[in-house]
Amino acid sequence: MTRVFAEICKKALPLVALLAAFSARAQELPDRAAPAIAMQQSAPTGERTYVVEAGDTLWSIAEGLYDEPWYWPSLWSYNPQITNPHLIYPGDQIYLSRKTSQTAAEKTISFAASRFDPRPKSGIELVRRVGYISSRDYRESGVLEASREERNMLGQLDEAYIRFNTRRCAEDDKAKAERDAFRASEDGDTKRDDKKDDEEDEALVGPCVRDGDKYTLYRVEREILHPVTGKRVGYKINFLGDAKVLSTVRPLVSVLITRSHSEISRGDLLTNVFEPLQLVSPVPNKVQVAGVIVDFHHETTAAGAFSYVYIDKGADDGVEKGNRFEIVWRGDGLARGNVGNLKDYPDEQIGVALVVEAYDRHSLALLTSTVRELERGMPAIMAKGF
């Protein structure tokens, strides 16, 4: 019996081997119903992944997986570890969806009571001095009339000649020295008019030009008019560069252009130095002031967070650098405020403006937060203690 079983097995072995070969071959043949690219197990954070094989490209993977080869840039964006999309290698693991954090599911979302939060947000802001000048600074500005160089457009290290309407500090110093010497030489019996002396000294106080002074070159873009009264409150300007006074001996003052941001030409103006960047810390408001948004720095019909605005209240009204205005609004949002019973609606804080510079009668401010677009003429309230 054993010999008979052995003979049967001996004859059946080739048949078993042949069936195994056919089975293995059948496993190697692709399933027409299966996808062209088989994805691997999910990553620990839940994303689907694919292991690159020889001959694969992001183009072919996108075509096989999404039936759209032009999807490969999105596929690349899911894999920041791939620095060159044309260089992927067998064994590389590719994420087929955007990578998420393992702790994302553990994070919770907290909701505020309202977007219209009346509480001031503390924090220091790095702000830029944008182009604006008051009417008084404009009147005291010097005018570039000529240059040493034989060209229209001037730049760094060129010399120019400026006409100032203000006095020369050297003349004031000389006049004061002569007056002091005369007073010292007066006879002790001579009666002095102290009131007249004080008035003469007061006449020397004010802006004057001195050798070595530094100025900022600028060009006027347009006037800024009050949206309610229509009066001129200042000028929007374009900063061009910096200059240093070389000599004040002649009526035309010689200056050296030490830095230029743009081309400089005859007719451009000089004013006090403006610092391009500065840190502004919030300062509690000492007084209660109500004003309006006069204008935006950029030529736009509406403004949002981190835009610069001009407000019609300044140092003469008690405004200081670092004070904050609340931009308020009332009405129906859908009707854009055009309602008959406007007084029945509450005031809503829709923005906060941090004062960057307080001029005499107006201020330059940075919008640190907004919940909707702001328009010219909107009320700006500086509440005491805010």
Neighbours of 50 (CB within 10 A): 19
Same domain, 240 and 326: no
Burial class from Cβ neighbours inside 10 Å (0-12, 13-18, 19+) for residue 269 reads buried
For residues 328 and 348, the answer to whether their CB atoms sit within 8 Å is yes
User: Domain end: 239, 272, 305, which one?
Assistant: 272
Number of domains in the chain: 3
DSSP 264: B
For the stretch 320-374, pLDDT in tens is 999 999 999 888 878 765 777 878 888 888 999 999 888 888 898 999 989 888 9
Instruction: Using the predicted structure, report yes or no on whether residue 7 has a pLDDT greater than 70.
Output: no
In a domain, 8, yes or no: no
Range of the domain at 339: 125-129+277-382
Q: How confident is the model at residue 265 (pLDDT cuts 50, 70, 90)?
A: very high
Neighbours of 154 (CB within 10 A): 24
In a domain, 13, yes or no: no
Domain of 70: which CATH number? Answer: 3.10.350.10
For the stretch 80-122, pLDDT in tens is 888 888 888 888 888 887 765 545 445 555 555 665 566 666 6
CA-wise closest residue to 349 among 317, 320, 312, 379 = 379
**Rounded Cα gap, residues 233 and 133, in angstroms:** 9
Taking CA atoms, 135 is separated from 72, 152, 226, 385, in Å, by: 58, 28, 13, 30
Taking CA atoms, 6 is separated from 1, 15, 223, in Å, by: 9, 15, 111
Q: How confident is the model at residue 253 (pLDDT cuts 50, 70, 90)?
A: very high
In a domain, 163, yes or no: yes
Taking CA atoms, 371 is separated from 12, 29, 83, 116, 325, in Å, by: 84, 61, 39, 7, 15
In a domain, 145, yes or no: yes
Same domain, 202 and 254: yes
CA-wise closest residue to 56 among 29, 83, 36 = 36
244 or 38, which is more confident: 244
In a domain, 332, yes or no: yes
Same domain, 249 and 284: no
In a domain, 299, yes or no: yes
Same domain, 148 and 263: yes
Same domain, 240 and 357: no
Same domain, 261 and 147: yes
C-alpha 310, offset from chain centre: 16
In a domain, 117, yes or no: no
For the record, the structure tokens of 118 come out as: 């009346």
User: Domain end: 240, 272, 304, which one?
Assistant: 272
Count of CA atoms in the C-beta half-sphere (13 A) of 41? 2
CA-wise closest residue to 57 among 31, 80, 84 = 84
Same domain, 361 and 249: no
Same domain, 160 and 72: no
State which of 132-136, 159-163, 296-300 shows the largest mean pLDDT: 159-163
Q: What is the mean pLDDT of residues 222-247?
A: 84
Same domain, 256 and 205: yes
List strand residue ranges (DSSP E) for 248-378, in order.
252-260, 269-272, 277-280, 289-296, 308-311, 324-329, 348-358, 363-370
pLDDT for position 336? 66
In a domain, 113, yes or no: no
Same domain, 258 and 163: yes
66 or 210, which is more confident: 210
For residues 326 and 349, the answer to whether their CB atoms sit within 8 Å is yes
315 or 136, which is more confident: 315
Q: What is the mean pLDDT of residues 267-279?
A: 79
Write down the mean pLDDT value for the chain. 77
pLDDT for position 290? 94
For the stretch 147-190, pLDDT in tens is 998 888 999 999 999 998 877 776 655 555 555 565 566 554 44
DSSP 365: E
Same domain, 145 and 65: no
pLDDT for position 135? 78
Same domain, 223 and 300: no
Domain of 361: which CATH number? Answer: 2.40.30
